[in-house]
Structure 1
Amino acid sequence: MTARARSRLAWVVVACAAVLSSCASQQGGSLAAPGSASPRTRVLGSGPRVLLAQVLLPPGARFTLPTSVCQEVFVYVRHGAAELDGGRVLLPGRAVRFGLEGAAVGNGSSRDTELYLVVSRSVARRFGPDATLDMQLAPSDPACGESAGAAALSELGAQPFVHAGGELRVSLLLDGPGQGTRHASLTRLDASATAGVPLHEHEESAEVIFIEQGEGRMRVGDQLVAVRPGTFVYIPPHTPHSFSPSGNSPLQAVQVYAPGGPEQRFRVTAPAPTGSDPAQAGVGAEPTPGAGSAPGSGASAGTWQVPTEGADGAAGPVGAPGAGS
């Protein structure tokens, strides 16, 4: 398949800003008693391997979603507090991977709770176009392989990995080595207003980027995409892609790899340059290409860079002004 043909597979959705109260929403997934508050959900975007949705839980509301050997469900708490079965409370910034018992989360507080919901599928049972949340059934197929274990939480108080001279901070929330994920990984990216990503691709994994803050342009195959808060980008495997920042505001984004693997490169830091402060060894360094054995951790995985005016290879605007969508 040619690069041009592959680029046609890229799913790019530009959505409104992630505020449910100002956008149309659907009801569903509630097991609350009659007359009690119900959750509201909105699909932010989807591709063959990943669906990303926003869930708003009013006080007293409860949300459930089935899981299976083919369907893995993550929940990330964006605002408020979420309560798991058994009474465990998750505060903003925490995430959970649910096991075969299904996903269930409630709001026992007096304030609204906002969640991101990530539903990832095995390559054997992909999502179709215009996918929606199925609150009743999850696909099952022996070809999907083994199931994940019991529910697992992101590490409490874990510090982000720092790269690109402090311009990029990566929080690995849910992945295979840490939480035993099977079909995807979940990462948060916080970057400066000038941090860009050179052209690269992932051999085995699709990538999802959802922009919360910041703007710029992404090249996805042959497409040029203007990204801003609320932009959802789905990048299939083997699709070259890059990011050039506008320089106007820092970047905050949610990143999903399906299957996981490429995110492991962020755990690897280059050795400190000769003569540098030993206390800073590995801090702010870019991942070392080729280090590690996880899929996507090789030289094709790409590294973050900070553009310098007039420097060779600086990440300037991609395409002509006004290009993209």
Structure 2
Amino acid sequence: MTQTTTQTTPDASMTTTPAQAVLTRHADAETCADPSSVMTLLADSDTPGSGFTSYRSTFAKGAVGAPAHFHTRATELFFVISGSLQVLVGEEVTVLEAGDFLAVPPHTPHAFAAAPGAEADVLFVFAPGLNRFDYLRLLGRVMRGEADPKEIAESAERFDNHYVDSPAWRAALKISAGSADRA
């Protein structure tokens, strides 16, 4: 698949630059699983034609997702396909519902989990991309007890994933856990 893009330069001359489309068939996509979610890896920044990273995660009820963190180089985009996703942005916690979209700019602390009592199916995109598939694979290995959690901390710069403490997120998770206990 090739797309041709025409751009006008300041001197009004025309140039044509071929761009490559990115297609990942569901049957060919790699999946990574941990006890509470399945990640379908769609395109990493080293995928030909891609300047972004994208994956889809399905979260079980009560799935914790990612702790508070930020990225220094990428905007992280969330699109909720179905279910409900609880998110932290800065110090505000809210719930995204099916069809909701969120863009979190660089340097903004954020976190996410399945909303209390809900499952979530979410499309994630990082722009610009950074080869993150190895990070997602590492997360799965840590969650399954196959890798040391220290490896995540040691990979912060490589994967542009910087963890921070968030009292607001800790409080939201505590409330969520209490809701699950009463259910």
**TM-score normalised according to structure 1 size:** 0.41
Alignment of 1:1-325 (within 5 A): 100-101=3-4, 150-154=20-24, 156-163=27-34, 165=35, 167-182=36-51, 184-196=52-64, 197-261=66-130, 263-264=132-133, 265-268=135-138, 269-270=141-142, 273=145, 281=146, 288-289=151-152, 290-291=154-155, 294-296=158-160, 298=161, 300=162, 315-317=173-175
CA distance in 1, matches of 2:67, 2:96: 16
- Match for residue 308 of structure 1? none
Deviations 1:127-170 (A, max 9, x none): xxxxxxxxxx87879xxxxx88533422642331113x2x1111
How far the C-alpha of 1:235 sits from its partner, in A, is: 0.2
CA distance in 2, matches of 1:160, 1:140: 42
- Which of the two has greater strand per residue? 2
Q: Which has the higher contact order (CA 8 A, sep 6+)?
A: 2
Let me know the Cα RMSD of the aligned residues: 3.7
CA distance in 1, matches of 2:136, 2:104: 19
Unmatched 5+ residue regions in structure 2?
A: 11-16, 165-169, 177-183
Would you say the 8 A contact 2:67–2:112 is kept in 1? Answer: yes
Distance verdict in 2 for CA 1:202–1:287, change over 3 Å: farther
Unmatched 5+ residue regions in structure 1?
A: 1-97, 103-136, 142-146, 274-280, 303-311, 319-325
How far the C-alpha of 1:294 sits from its partner, in A, is: 4.2
Say how many residue pairs are matched.
Answer: 159
Would you say the 8 A contact 1:208–1:256 is kept in 2? Answer: yes
CA distance in 2, matches of 1:140, 1:198: 45
Distance verdict in 2 for CA 1:246–1:293, change over 3 Å: closer
Percent identity, aligned pairs only, is 20
Deviations 1:188-207 (A, max 9, x none): 11111111221111111101
The alignment partner of 1:181 has SS state of coil
How far the C-alpha of 1:225 sits from its partner, in A, is: 2.3
Deviations 1:3-24 (A, max 9, x none): xxxxxxxxxxxxxxxxxxxxxx
CA distance in 2, matches of 1:190, 1:271: 15
CA distance in 2, matches of 1:287, 1:232: 32
